[in-house]
Amino acid sequence: MANKLIELCGISKSYGSNQILDDMNLYFNENRFLTLLGPSGCGKTTTLRIMAGFETPDTGKVLFDGVDITNMPPNKRPLNTVFQKYALFTHMNIAENIAFGLKIKNKSKAYIDDKIKYALKLVNLDGYEKRMPDSLSGGQQQRIAIARAIVNEPKVLLLDEPLGALDLKLRQSMQYELIRLKNELGITFVYVTHDQEEALTMSDTIVVMNQGYIQQIGTPEDIYNEPENAFVADFIGESNIISSTMVEDKLVNILGTNFKCVDVGFGQNRPVDVVIRPEDIELLSPEKGIITGRVTSVLFKGVHYEMEVMANGREWLVHSTVMKNVSDEVGLYVDPFNIQIMNKPESEDEEAVKIDA
C-alpha cells in the first residue's frame, strides 16, 4: 500500500444543487497511464481539477504519497497540468513559456537553457525557442504546453482533454506521441477524455465515470471485453445489450432462446443484462445458427460491413467482413465465451467501486 501515489478518499463536490461527485474513492500508483473516461458532465474534469487544486472538494481528502494535500494551493503541488485549450502565455515566446516554472523556482540560467533544449527535443520541436505561441499550429501549441509542464519534473502530469481541439489525424499521431513521452519520462499521466477510442489506445488503466460515480476500473481489455454494467458496455464501443434471464450456471435465456455461456454464480432464473459485441456474432447458414433471422440493413464501413438482423423480435447489430444481402435469411451464432453477463443495476446510480489499479 506504500506505493499509492495519489489517493482520493470520499470526495464529494457540488455546484449549488448540482451534485458533480458523490463519495468518490480512487487511487493509483506510480508510472501509470490512467484515463478518466465518461460523457460530459460525468465529473471527470472536476476530479482532475480537484487533484490539480483548482477546486476544493466539499468533503473528502486528497492524498499525495500519503500526505494530505486537500487544502494545498495549486502552486505548491508537485504535479502539473496540460489544459484543453493549451493556455500558453501569448505574450511570451516559446522559450519563456517553457522557462516560466523553472524561473519561479530560481533555477540557474544554464540549467533552464538545458531544460528548454531537452523539452523541445522531447516534443520534436527543436529550434522553436524564439517563436511566439500564436505562430504555431494547434498540435504544436499543445506539445509546447506539455513541454512547459514536464520541465518541472512533476511526478504526475494531469491532462485535461488535451487533444480535444485537434483534428482526427493529428489526434491519432499525438496519441502515439503521448504514449512515447510517458514511457520516456516514467511518470504518471492522468488523462481526461470522453473519447473511448483514445482511452483504449493509450491507457494502462481506465476509470469509467457517469453522473459522478465510478462505473468500472480496469485495463482497456477488461473494460471492453467484460463491462460490468450496461452503461460501460454502451459507452465503450457499440454493443447489443439485451435484457435476459439467467436460467442456471452457464445457460442464459435471451429473448426466448437458451444460449450457452461461461458465467456462473448469478443464481437461477435471475434477470440480467447480456452484452454481445457486434463483431462476436457470426452469420452462418440458417440451419447452423442458434437462432435465425433476416438481414434488414447493410452498411459498408471500410474494414467491415455493419448489418442489422431481425431475430427473436429484436434488431441485432452485427459487424462482419462477409457481406449478406438485405432480406437474406441467416443463422446467428455466438461463442459462449463472447456472451458477457452483467447484473442489472439496482438503481440509476451504480455503487462506486474500488479496484486495485
Partner 1 sequence: MRNSLFKKLLSGPYIFWIVGFTVLPLLVIAYYAFTQNGQFTLANITAITQYAHWKALAISLVLALLCTFVCLLISFPLALVLRNLSLAKGHLARGRNNMIVMLFILPMWINFLLRSYAWQMILSRNGLLNGFLSLLHLPKLHIYNTPWAILLGMIYDFLPFMILPVYNAMIKIDQDVINAAYDLGATKQTTLRKIIFPLSLPGIISGITMVFVPSISEFAIANLLGGGKILLIGNIIEQEFSEGNNWNLGSGLSLILMIFIIISMLFTAKYDKNGEGGTLL
Residue 105 vs 169, nearer CB to partner 1? 105
Binding-residue pattern over the window 6 to 35 for partner 1, x denoting contact by CB under 8 A: ---------xx-------------------
Residue 330 CA, chain-centre distance (Å), reads 36
Number of residues in contact with partner 1 under rule CB under 8 A:
28
Q: Give the integer Cα–Cα distance in Å for 183 and 316.
A: 41
Regarding 87 and contact with partner 1 (CB under 8 A), the answer is yes
Q: Give the integer Cα–Cα distance in Å for 245 and 197.
A: 31
Q: Please select the residue that binds partner 1; options are 90, 137, 258, 297, rule is CB under 8 A.
A: 90
Report, in Å, the least distance between residue 130 CB and partner 1.
18
Regarding 75 and contact with partner 1 (CB under 8 A), the answer is yes
CA distances (Å), 258 to each of 245, 312, 352, in order? Answer: 9, 12, 32
Q: Are 78 and 138 in contact (CB under 8 A)?
A: no
Find the helix packing angle between 94-104 and 138-150, rounded to 10°.
Answer: 20
The stretch near partner 1 (CB under 8 A) out of 49-57, 184-192, 246-254, 302-310 is: 49-57
Q: Please select the residue that binds partner 1; options are 84, 175, 292, 320, rule is CB under 8 A.
A: 84
Residue 17 vs 325, nearer CB to partner 1? 17
The stretch near partner 1 (CB under 8 A) out of 123-131, 144-152, 249-257, 311-319 is: 144-152
Phi-psi region of 314 (alpha: psi -120 to 50; beta: other; left: phi over 0): beta
Q: Please select the residue that binds partner 1; options are 65, 72, 100, 292, rule is CB under 8 A.
A: 100
Pairing assessment for the beta strands 305-311 and 291-300 based on DSSP bridges: antiparallel
Report, in Å, the least distance between residue 244 CB and partner 1.
43
Q: Please select the residue that binds partner 1; options are 21, 52, 119, 123, rule is CB under 8 A.
A: 52
Residue 100 vs 333, nearer CB to partner 1? 100
Binding-residue pattern over the window 189 to 228 for partner 1, x denoting contact by CB under 8 A: ----------------------------------------
Report, in Å, the least distance between residue 219 CB and partner 1.
29
Burial class of residue 190 (count of CB atoms within 10 Å of its CB; 0-12, 13-18, 19+): buried
Q: Please select the residue that binds partner 1; options are 3, 66, 89, 126, rule is CB under 8 A.
A: 89
Regarding 169 and contact with partner 1 (CB under 8 A), the answer is no
Regarding 74 and contact with partner 1 (CB under 8 A), the answer is yes
Residue 149 vs 246, nearer CB to partner 1? 149
Q: Please select the residue that binds partner 1; options are 54, 63, 185, 237, rule is CB under 8 A.
A: 54
**Contacts from 10-19 at CB under 8 Å and sequence distance 24+?**
10/59, 10/60, 10/61, 11/47, 11/50, 11/57, 11/59, 11/60, 11/61, 11/62, 12/57, 12/58, 12/59, 12/60, 13/43, 13/46, 13/50, 13/55, 13/57, 13/58, 14/58, 19/212
Which grid coordinates belong to 123? 516534443
State the DSSP H helix or E strand holding residue 312, giving kind and residue range, or none if neither: none
Handedness of CA 143, 146, 150, 152 (dihedral sign): positive
Among 122, 120, 124, 73, which residue's Cα sits nearest to residue 97?
Answer: 120
Q: Please select the residue that binds partner 1; options are 148, 182, 194, 277, rule is CB under 8 A.
A: 148
Q: Give the integer Cα–Cα distance in Å for 99 and 109.
A: 10
Name 202's Cβ contacts closer than 8 Å, sequence gap at least 6: 33, 35, 175, 178, 179, 191
Binding-residue pattern over the window 101 to 140 for partner 1, x denoting contact by CB under 8 A: x--xx-----------------------------------
Q: What are the residues binding partner 1 (CB under 8 A)?
A: 15-16, 52-54, 73-77, 80-81, 83-85, 87-91, 100-101, 104-105, 145, 148-149, 152
